[in-house]
């Protein structure tokens, strides 16, 4: 995907939540081009979710606290645009899908329509978007169900469909498949791949490193509020500091344990060929 | 998980298809008229009309199941209290040893019970044939702000959601050995470990949901687009006006001597 302009730029960003003793993110500078698919990973309290909140504008708008530096989202300074206004171009999927649903709709299809309706989208267009978003998220068969009757995985798909119906240019996903089974996870990543091909920028927080390496052409590794590595997955997970503090995909660990020559593979297909070579 | 506070029963009767406001005005007027009407005969007429509508909507069996559970104990209580203890009791109906049951009390209890039956029938007729989301939508189409519309819709969902969360917390606490059943002191001791996580999780969920609503553009200053058009026609509009006018009309009639 050719990167033409920037979707998200953080310049020397430091942010601390109100009354927090330390900064949640410290001195982050990051440029994400439009159309990129970037995976963000790191241990607990690395600042990954805060990064999403900053990009959406919820921090500091909603949480208060101290923000230093500059956050530019789709060429607009985060301080100049409210979260509600930004929601027409940027979508954020929260970790907990239960709180992402509006809590006011009695049917899944009506829930998906909530966002476009809030934006005053014309009725036929809303219907078309709802149908498309439910199809992409694989929940068309659940259209008549009550959102609160869905399982965690189904709710996660519903929350994603609700965002897709708003057709955002920048999609911020905070662990989008945390409640999905392997088949559901694969299906969602297929959807995201389709969106990525259509030009949607995706910033995705993910703990499953194997999955991250398979789908994201670029990975940002964070620890204690700082970016410690940024680049292609095979570069990032071959850095000693990342391996120690963030972890590494199981293939990389195996290759390291078998003392294969560097760089160690991070994807299944690369691992298969590396091990085949070593056996040969 | 909990489904919602909706009692709506799927159906395609003319009442299911009627405009929510028509059904709302019908419910309110029927209840008001039942309480304004001066005699048992009038109240029975209103009750019979409501039961006919309930039957036409195909929800009679469902109504009887729910309504009897409410009305039966209430009616027995009214009959006992009024028949034995009303201060206006004069004429003996029958005696149980030293305890006398009076006709005046019986008449008062019957009128009160019939009025409550009208209230229950009208309310359930409305609830069984109208989805809560349609009520809010119809009100928003008549000028209610989207924020208030959201409040109406969310309020109808929040109780079952909270009960669901409470159930999950109770299960989790039981799994950790908390005794939630047994004697009153034991249950009282279990109250705090159940309530504290419920209140805290509700507060967190409220904060997260507020954020999620903003992220979806809730509150954006745009012209609201109607989700769907309700079937409405001149007959329904005339009926709504007639029912609405009937209530003050009945009050005036009572004042000038309707007995």
pLDDT (tens digit per residue) in A177-186: 888 888 888 8
Determine the residue of chain A that is closest to B203 in CA distance. Answer: A99
Nearest-CB residue to B209 (from A83, A88, A103): A103
- Give the helix ranges, DSSP H, for chain B: 14-17, 20-36, 40-56, 60-85, 103-129, 132-141, 146-175, 184-215, 234-256
CB contact under 8 A, B153 and A162: no
Q: Is B3 on the interface with A (CB under 8 A)?
A: yes
Is the minimum CB–CB distance between B68 and chain A shorter than 8 Å? Answer: no
Cα separation values, B203 from A135, A191, A278, B198, B214, Å: 33, 33, 56, 9, 17
Over range A196-206, report the average pLDDT.
95
Residue B79 contacts residue B86 (beta carbons within 8 Å) = no
Residues of chain B contacting residue A119, judged by C-beta atoms under 8 Å apart: 217, 220, 222
Q: State the smallest CA–CA distance between residue B117 and chain A in angstroms.
A: 29
**Residues of chain A with pLDDT > 90: what percent?**
76
CB atoms A104 and B223 under 8 Å: no
CB proximity under 8 Å: B 104-133 to A: 131-133
Q: What is the mean pLDDT of residues B183-190?
A: 78
Interface contact flag, B208 A99, Cβ < 8 Å: yes
Q: How confident is the model at residue A2 (pLDDT cuts 50, 70, 90)?
A: very low
User: What tokens does A278 get?
Assistant: 């070593």
Q: How close A123 gets to chain B, by Cα (Å)?
A: 7
Is residue B145 less than 8 Å (CB to CB) from chain A? Answer: no
Nearest to A117 among B154, B158, B225 (CB): B225
Nearest CB partner across the interface for A148, out of B2, B208, B228: B2
Q: Is the ipTM of this complex over 0.85?
A: no
Inter-chain touch B150–A105, beta carbons under 8 Å: no
Q: What is the pLDDT of residue B189?
A: 77
Tokens of A135: 């199809």
Average pLDDT over residues A32-39: 97
φ and ψ of B29, to 5 deg: -65, -40
Phi and psi, residue B206, nearest 5°: -65, -45
Residue B228's pLDDT is 77
First and final C-alpha spacing in chain B: 52
Residue of A49, A97, A104, A159 for testing the chain B interface, max B β-carbons within 10 Å? A104
Nearest one of B15, B6, B7, B11 to B52, comparing CA atoms = B15
Put simply, the answer to whether A92 touches B153 (Cβ < 8 Å) is: no
* Among the partner residues A98, A104, A115, nearest to B217 by beta-carbon distance: A115
Q: What angle do CA A131, A134, A136 make, to 5 degrees?
A: 105
Q: How far apart are CA A263 and CA A101, in angstroms?
A: 44
Residue A173 in tokens:
């996903």
Beta strand extents in chain A (DSSP E only): 6-16, 25-33, 37-41, 66-73, 76-77, 90-93, 170-174, 201-205, 218-223, 226-231
Pair of tokens at residue A49: 């979710």
Average pLDDT for residues A54-71, to the nearest whole number?
93
Start-to-end CA distance of chain A, whole Å, equals 36
A114 and B224 in contact (C-beta within 8 Å)?
no
What's the pTM?
0.78
List, in sequence order, the alpha helices (H) in A216-267. Answer: 233-236, 240-245, 250-257
């Amino acid at each position: 995907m050719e990167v033409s302009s920037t979707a998200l730029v953080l310049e020397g960003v430091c942010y601390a939540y109100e009354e927090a003793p330390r900064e949640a993110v410290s001195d982050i500078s990051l440029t994400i081009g439009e159309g990129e698919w970037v995976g963000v990973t790191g241990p607990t309290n690395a600042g990954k979710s805060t990064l999403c909140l900053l990009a959406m504008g919820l921090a500091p708008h909603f949480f208060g606290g101290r923000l230093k530096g500059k956050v530019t989202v789709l060429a607009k300074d985060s301080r100049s645009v409210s979260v509600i206004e930004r929601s027409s171009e940027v979508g954020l999927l929260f970790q907990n899908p239960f709180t992402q649903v509006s809590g006011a709709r009695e049917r899944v299809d009506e829930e998906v329509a909530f966002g476009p309706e809030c934006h005053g989208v014309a009725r036929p267009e809303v219907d078309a978007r709802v149908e498309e978003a439910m199809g992409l998220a694989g929940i068309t068969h659940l259209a008549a169900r009550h959102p609160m009757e869905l399982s965690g995985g189904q709710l996660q798909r519903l929350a994603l469909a609700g965002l897709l119906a708003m057709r955002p240019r920048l999609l911020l996903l905070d662990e989008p498949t945390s409640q999905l089974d392997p088949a559901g996870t694969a299906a969602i990543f297929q959807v995201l791949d389709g969106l990525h091909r259509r030009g949607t920028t995706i910033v995705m927080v993910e703990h499953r490193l194997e999955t991250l390496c398979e789908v994201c052409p670029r990975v940002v590794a964070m620890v204690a509020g700082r970016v410690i590595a940024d680049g292609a997955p095979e570069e990032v997970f071959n850095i000693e500091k990342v391996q120690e503090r963030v972890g590494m995909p199981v293939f990389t660990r195996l290759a390291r344990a078998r003392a294969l020559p560097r760089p160690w593979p991070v994807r299944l297909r690369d691992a298969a060929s590396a091990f085949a070579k070593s056996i040969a | 998980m909990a489904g919602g506070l909706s009692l709506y029963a799927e159906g395609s009767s003319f009442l299911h298809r009627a405009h929510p406001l028509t059904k709302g005005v019908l419910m309110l007027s029927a209840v008001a008229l039942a309480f304004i009407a001066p005699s048992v005969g009038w109240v029975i007429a209103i009750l019979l009309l409501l039961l006919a509508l309930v039957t036409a909507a195909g929800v009679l069996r469902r109504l009887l199941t729910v309504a009897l559970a409410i009305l039966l104990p209430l009616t027995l209580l009214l009959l006992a209290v009024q028949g034995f203890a009303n201060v206006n009791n004069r004429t003996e109906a029958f005696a149980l040893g030293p305890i006398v049951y009076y006709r005046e009390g019986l008449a008062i209890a019957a009128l009160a019970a019939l009025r409550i039956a009208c209230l229950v029938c009208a309310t359930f007729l409305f609830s069984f044939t109208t989805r809560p989301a349609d009520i809010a939508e119809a009100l928003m189409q008549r000028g209610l702000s989207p924020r208030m519309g959201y409040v109406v819709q969310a309020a109808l969902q929040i109780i079952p959601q909270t009960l669901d969360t409470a159930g999950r917390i109770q299960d989790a606490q039981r799994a950790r050995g908390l005794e939630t059943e047994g004697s009153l002191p034991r249950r009282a001791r279990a109250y705090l470990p159940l309530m504290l996580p419920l209140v805290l999780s509700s507060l967190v969920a409220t904060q997260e949901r507020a954020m999620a609503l903003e992220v979806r553009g809730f509150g954006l200053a745009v012209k609201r687009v109607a989700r769907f058009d309700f079937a409405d026609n001149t007959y329904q509009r005339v009926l709504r006006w007639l029912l609405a006018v009937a209530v003050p009309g009945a009050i005036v009639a009572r004042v000038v001597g309707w007995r």
